[in-house]
Amino acid sequence: MDDGTPVSAGVKIATHGFKEEDILFLCNVLKKKYDLLARPHRDGHQFVIYIPKASMARLGCLISAYMVPSMHRKLNGYYFV
């Protein structure tokens, strides 16, 4: 829950330790399995996964029930209790 941060109207997932090809793989899995738009985003010399506003409501529906309430702020208002 703690390895993400809200940015703009979306969210970044901290995947700094992953290789670029692994991040591309994860983005494809998120699309195929959960219908989430996700793309690699360069953060310095490493990559993170960025989920844009268009997928935030879907992401909130999928994960907010499993998050402790203090972490709901990371979903940029797209959490459902």
Mean pLDDT, range 21-27, rounded to an integer: 96
Mean pLDDT of 51-72: 88
Query: Can you spell out the DSSP letters for 21-81?
Result: HHHHHHHHHHHHHH----EEEEETTEEEEEE-GGGHHHHHHHHGGGS-GGGGGGGTT----
pLDDT tens string 34-48: 999 999 999 889 999
Averaged pLDDT, 14-25: 94
Q: Are 69 and 57 in contact (CB under 8 A)?
A: no
Q: Does domain 4-75 match CATH 2.40.50.140?
A: no
